[in-house]
Each structure stands twice: as C-alpha cells, then as structure tokens.
C-alpha cells in the first residue's frame, strides 16, 4: 500500500494529517525559519539550507527571505532561478521552475486542491503539479493555481491569477489570467 506521501506526490487523494506528512511540514518550518534568520553576508549558509530544503536546486539559484513552502522535496528550480521577498510555494505535488526564471515579490504557487463536495473535503485533499518553463518572469503578487503549466519565455503580469496553462512567448494578465499579447 502506498504511503500518504507517495499518494500525495502522485496526485491521489491523501490525508494531510498523516503523521509523516505533519513531520515533513514541521521540518520545513524549521528550515525556512533558519533561512529567514540568515543575513545577506551568509551566502554559503543560505545555499546549504536551500540544498537541504529543495528537491533540486540549480546553479546560482537565489531566494530572498522570507520564503515559505510546505514540503520542499517537491520543489525543483533550475539555474539562475530568482525568487523575490515573500514567495510561497505550497508543493504537495511537484513544482518545477526552469532555468532563468524570475519571481516577483509575494508570488504564490499552489498545488493542493480539494473536492467540491463538502463531505468529501473533510480530511482529504489532492494535489496537481505546477510546471514553469525556462526564462519565465512571474510578476509580484501573481498566483499560479494547481495543475498549470507556464510555457517558456512567458510573462505573467503582477497580480494575475493563473487558472489555466500559459502558452510560450505570451504575456498574460488579469483574474483569471488571459493572453494579452504574444511576445517577440
């Protein structure tokens, strides 16, 4: 029988109060608190914490504290990734950022989702992965919802709520985000 962690990562219904998952989230709260307590003159310490926290971390990836996530091990970022202050990644399912991605301040990425039926929602949730291609810029306070893919070189305008896939080489904006124009 698969563990709740395996069910969660596979996108199946899982119990978020499973003791192992609770322990995983507690570990992440400790690591993100330690990360938030580091100073700008401690790059080696910051890198060591992110190496322990993330599932994979590209070269020259940088995350401004404070930063929060649920599990960390489902979070994968490419080379030259940058996350500005106050970013939140709820990574119950895999979240993948390509190379040269930039996140503005306060960007939120959500993977957890819940049944629409109230009784089915009690004690269960599931998660859908989020994938962001290479050279993507996500503006401040934008939200990426469960299951979306953002194509290479796309730009997500500040404050946008992305509820469906974003084509490559486009600018999207609004709530819900829609294609504003194609990019050269």
Q: What is the pLDDT along the chain (184 residues), one digit of tens a residue?
A: 999 999 999 999 999 999 999 999 999 999 999 999 999 999 999 999 999 999 999 999 999 999 999 999 999 999 999 999 999 999 999 999 999 999 999 999 999 999 889 998 888 899 999 999 999 999 999 999 999 999 999 999 999 999 999 999 999 999 999 999 999 8
Tell me if 93 sits within 8 A of 11, measured CB to CB.
yes
Q: What residue spans define the domains of the chain? A: 4-182
CB 166 within 8 A of CB 151: yes
pTM of the model: 0.96
What are the helix and strand counts (H, E) for the chain?
A: 4, 19
114: annotated active-site residue = yes
Nearest to 110 by CA among 43, 150, 162: 162
Q: Which of these CATH numbers, 3.40.50.300, 2.160.10.10, 3.40.50.720, 3.10.20.30, describes 4-182?
A: 2.160.10.10
Among residues 114, 141, 153, 178, the one annotated as catalytic is 114
Backbone torsions φ then ψ of 29, nearest 5 degrees = -60, -40
């Amino acid at each position: 029988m698969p563990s709740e962690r395996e069910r969660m990562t596979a996108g199946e219904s899982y119990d978020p109060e499973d003791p192992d998952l609770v322990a995983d989230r507690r570990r992440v709260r400790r690591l993100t608190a330690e990360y938030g307590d580091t100073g700008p003159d401690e790059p080696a310490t910051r890198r060591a914490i992110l190496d322990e926290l993330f599932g994979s971390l590209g070269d020259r990836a940088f995350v401004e504290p404070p930063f929060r996530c649920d599990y960390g091990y489902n979070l994968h970022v490419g080379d030259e990734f940058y996350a500005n202050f106050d970013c939140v990644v709820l990574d119950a399912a895999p979240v993948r950022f390509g190379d040269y991605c930039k996140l503005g301040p306060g960007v939120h990425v959500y993977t957890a989702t819940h049944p629409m039926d109230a009784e089915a929602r009690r004690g269960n949730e599931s998660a859908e992965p989020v994938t962001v291609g290479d050279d993507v810029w996500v503006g401040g306070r934008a939200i990426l919802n469960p299951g979306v893919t953002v194509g290479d070189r796309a730009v997500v305008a500040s404050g946008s709520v992305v509820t469906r896939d974003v084509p490559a080489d486009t600018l999207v904006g609004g709530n819900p985000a829609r294609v504003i124009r194609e990019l050269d």
